[in-house]
Structure 1
Amino acid sequence: MTRNRASLAYVSDDAARKITYKKRKKGLAKKVSELITLCGIQACAVIFSSYESKPEVWPDSSEAQQVITRFQNTYARDETRNLNQESFTRQRIAKVSAQLKKQRKENSKKEMNLAMFQCAEGGSMDDEAMVDPDELDSLAQENINIINNKMHEFI
């Protein structure tokens, strides 16, 4: 059986609001305690209320101060590690540019392979292929070396 959703609305009756506040505060302290126990973490709760002159701190002020100090130190250290949007974008552009350069090189190699095999079948070099003869020679030598290595594997 599912529970009905509680409506989140301001409690207009002062007495009922104070009772609700005390119940929720107790539940919040219990949840923080469960987090600390079950997950083995450091946690604290600071509750500011119109019912109390000072904020209520759980578990106690000294432990909460340690947790808050540790959080602030960690946050300051992580802040220097985190990137701002501009540097993130620059890094991403550099990475994508490198990928594009690699893909263009791969495409060029495939075009030269295609042109080389078309020539080997008796076709002619298309003007569209715009293949650099030195690169074509290098690719042909590379393919010959691959074939020779495969032949030596079978022997």
Structure 2
Amino acid sequence: MARKKIKLVWINEDARRRATLKKRRKGLMKKVKELAILCDVRSCAIIYCPHDPKPEVCPAIEETTRVLNDFRSLSEMEKSKKMMNHAAFLQQRIAKRHEHIRQYDLEKRQLESTALLLECIAGSSILLLSTEELGSLTVQLNHKAKAVQERINELQNLIPAPPQASVDEDHNVGLHNYYEEMQCSAATT
């Protein structure tokens, strides 16, 4: 059975708040260990509680100290390379959403212009179209013409060229055909 969604608000009752902290802290420490095992990353967690004199450390104090010392030994650029604050994270998400919207808008316009092209091919009059629709239709036709030309070029590159006869051979064949025609016409007259 699924858990009900809880509201993330300050728990007023001290006993309930401590019990929740104990449960959540235990779950968080378990997640840190699982992350280290499943993803093969060096991770640690240090949790300070207002009612406990010393912090709880996961995995162990020695390993946590090593992880923190390794992190401190990195240059400032390496430390902050993949870090981001909440505002930067939200800006990145917004930019990605804007890009998705732009892509969907582009696809929508392409589908509309394709539908318009198909309507015109089916016999719909282009006299009833607006300037914007005519521009869209022109872009669509240019795109299709370019695709057809590229395909023709591909096919021409696949077909081997017939062997070229020399100019003298063509001239001689032409003369031979001319003399034969002359002889046929002389024989009939």
TM-score (norm: length of structure 2)? 0.39
TM-score (norm: length of structure 1)? 0.47
Structure with bigger RCO (C-alpha 8 Å, 6+ apart):
1
